[in-house]
Structure formats: C-alpha cells, structure tokens
Amino acid sequence: MKSVILIFTLFFMSLLSFGQKVEGWSILADVRFEDVYFEEVDQYFLKPIFGKKLLKASKTEVTITGFVMPFEVEGEDKMIILSQNPYSSCFFCGGAGPETVAEIHFKKKPKRFSPDEVIQVKGILHLNDSDVDHLNYMIKEATIIEIP
C-alpha cells in the first residue's frame, strides 16, 4: 500500500464539532501542501499542513457521501477509497487534488461495491501527515448510512 498516499476530501461531508454542524468541504479545504522528502521510501510527497479548523475537527464523527474507487488492497477487506469525484476525474486519474479522496475503514466487512457507486458513511475523522502507507484523511469505525 506504499503507493497510496496523500490527502483527500470527500463528497457532501458534514462534521460535528462542539454541537455545531460544519460543512465538510470547507473544513477539509483548510489544508495546504509542501513537497517533503521521505527518507524511508526515498521519494518526495506532498505533505499536508492542516489548518486550525481541520485540526479541531480531527477525531470527531463525520458523515460523508462519495464515489467508490475501484481500488483493492490485499488483505484489507474492511477498507475502501471514497472520492469526491467519479473515477474519470478522481485524484488517482489526475483530475483532482489529493484532498478529494479518503480511506474508509469499516467496523465490519461491507458488501462489495461497484466502481463509482455513490455511498454515504459515518465514522471518526483521522488526519495523517506522516505515514506514507495511508492517505491523509481516514474515516475509521465507519458504517453505511442509507441514502434517502
């Protein structure tokens, strides 16, 4: 999974912080990037510098809606990649920035999703600025929410 890195934002995300509903896209956009050399992989990567609003939202419950990316990690049957954009214009295809994708780690193994299937999940937002084996935004303990 070393080829997976960087950051992502998600589609129609809502963050709950101190009882206030916060728009996810505006919070996740509170980031800038610097080219940083990672000695352990002998490569440069875009390292996120999270803003104050985003840091405040870390480890709070979020709800996010997005497109499932056709991406599989060997041995990871509880994890998917969710994108703000459809596959044809996602981060991995060069059509968007790294802030438009996130790792979703489910509490229990979900059903198998189709590429570009739109789903909504709820879980805890975790920020990552140093582990090159993971994306910059991770939603952990995620569960599926039925889309009305």
- Domains of the chain, with CATH numbers? 14-145 (2.40.50.140)
Q: What is the mean pLDDT of the segment spanning 57-73?
A: 86
User: Model-level pTM greater than 0.85?
Assistant: no
The 10s digit of each residue's pLDDT in 124-135 is 999 999 998 899
The structure tokens listed for 95 are 């059509």
Q: Give the best-scoring range by mean pLDDT among 3-12, 69-78, 83-92, 132-141.
A: 132-141
* Amino acid 24: pLDDT: 54
Q: Exposed, middle or buried, 2 (CB in 10 Å: 0-12/13-18/19+)?
A: exposed
